[in-house]
Structure 1
Amino acid sequence: MRPDPAQDGRQSATALRVQRGVGRLLLAHGFCCASEVSLATGRRTDLMALGPRGEIWIVEIKSSVADFRADSKWPDYRAACDRLFFATVPEVPAAIFPPEAGLIVTDGFAAEIVRDAPLTPLAGATRKAITLRFARTAALRLQAVTDPAAGAGPDGL
C-alpha cells in the first residue's frame, strides 16, 4: 500500500495535531480540506480548503517560532487563495504572525479563528484552475485508498 501523501513523513507530531484541529474547524464551517495540494508554481500547501460557495482558503501550519522564521515562501500563497491563514498551537506567540494573514489557534481537537484573514478574491480563471487541482488531488487520494494497486496516475499525486 502506498503511503498517505497527506502524511509524507515531513510533518512533525505538532503539525499533524494542528492539521487535525484546523480540519475539524473548517469542516464545521462547511469547508472540505486537502493537505499538500500542489500549485502551478510547484509549491505545496499545508492545507487547502474549499468552501460551500467555491471560496478557497490556504492554511499554512507553523508548529514553532523556528518553523515560522524558517519560512519565506508563505507570501507566494496569496495568489492562490481568497484568504490566507496561519495555524498554530497556543504555545507559539500570536504576535509573530503578520497581520496580512489570518490566524487560527488549535490544541489539535478544537480550533478558533483568532484573526480573520483579509479577503483577496481570486480571478475566475485562477479560481477554476485551483478548484480543479483541489478536486483532482482529492479524487486521486480517494482512488489510492479504494484501489491502492492502481498507481498514482499521470499527475503523480
Structure 2
Amino acid sequence: MQDIALQPGQILARGVARHLRLHDFVSVEEFVPVRGLRMDVFALGPKGEFWVVECKSSRVDFTSDSKWQGYLEWGDRYFWAVDADFPTELLPAETGLIIADGYDAEIIRMGPETKLAPARRKVLMQKFARHAASRLQGFRDPGVSALSGPC
C-alpha cells in the first residue's frame, strides 16, 4: 500500500490504530462526536472504554490546534500521537503520549483516566457503532453512500 494520498497525520493515525488493535481496541478515524469537533482516532476498548487520540505531525500542527481541550470530555483517556522527531516537551504532561509511524506505535505515557458519564458513554457507543457500520457499508457498496444521510 502506498501512502501517496495520505496526509502525515493520517499516516500516524494508521500506526496508532494498528497498535491499539494489539491491545484489543477497535478504532474509527476522523470521528465527529458533535459538530465542530473531529477526533483523529477514536478507539473503543474491550471493557467499553473510549480513548481519544489526536495526531500531530509537526510543531505548527500542534500550536495551531486551539480546541484540543474540547476533546477531553469525550473519552476516558486522552493521548497525543506524534512521530519520533516531534518535540514532545511541547505536549501537556497531564495527557497521554504515543510515538507512532505509519506501521506501528508505542504508548510512552498513559493518559489519566477520567470516566465518562453513563449517558454520554451510551450516546458515544451508538454513534461509534453507526459510524463504523456506515463506513463499512460505504467500502462494501460505494454507491450507497450517495443515498444515505449523516450518521
* 2-structure distance, mates of 1:90, 1:123: 34
Residue 134 of structure 1 is aligned with which of 128, 133, 141?
128
Distance 1:41 1:122 in 2: 19
| Aligned-residue offset at 1:40 | 2.2
Asked whether 1:48 is paired with 2:45, we answer no
Once the two structures are superposed, the pairs formed by residues 43-82 of structure 1 within 5 Å of their partners are 43-82=37-76
1:92 and 2:65 are equivalent in the alignment: no
1:154 — aligned with what?
149
Of 93, 100, 115 in structure 2, the residue corresponding to residue 106 of structure 1 is 100
Picking from 120, 123, 126, the partner of 2:114 is 120
Q: What is the rounded CA distance, in whole Å, between the counterparts of 2:57 and 2:30 in structure 1?
A: 16
Alpha-carbon distance in structure 2 between the residues aligned to 1:79 and 1:107: 27
Query: How many Å separate the matches in 2 of 1:100 and 1:130?
Result: 24
Q: Count residues with an aligned counterpart.
A: 146
Question: Which amino acid in the other structure matches residue 87 of structure 2?
Answer: P
RMSD over aligned Cα atoms? 1.4
Percent identity between the two aligned chains = 44
Q: CA deviation at 1:16?
A: 2.1
Q: 1:31: how far off? A: 0.3
Query: TM-score by structure 2 length?
Result: 0.91
User: What's the CA shift for 1:78?
Assistant: 0.8
**TM-aligned CA deviation for residue 129 of structure 1:** 0.6
Output the TM-score relative to the length of structure 1.
0.88
Query: What SS does structure 2 have at the residue aligned with 1:143?
Result: helix
Give the aligned residue type for 1:108.
Answer: G
Question: SS in structure 1 opposite 2:31?
Answer: coil
State the AA in 1 paired with 2:9: A
How big is each residue's C-alpha offset from its partner over 1:62-117, in whole Å with a ceiling of 9 and x where there is no partner?
00011000001110011110000000101101111102210000132221111110
Aligned to 1:16: 10
CA distance in 1, matches of 2:13, 2:145: 26
Which structure 2 segments of 5+ residues have no match?
none
Moved over 4 A (4+): none
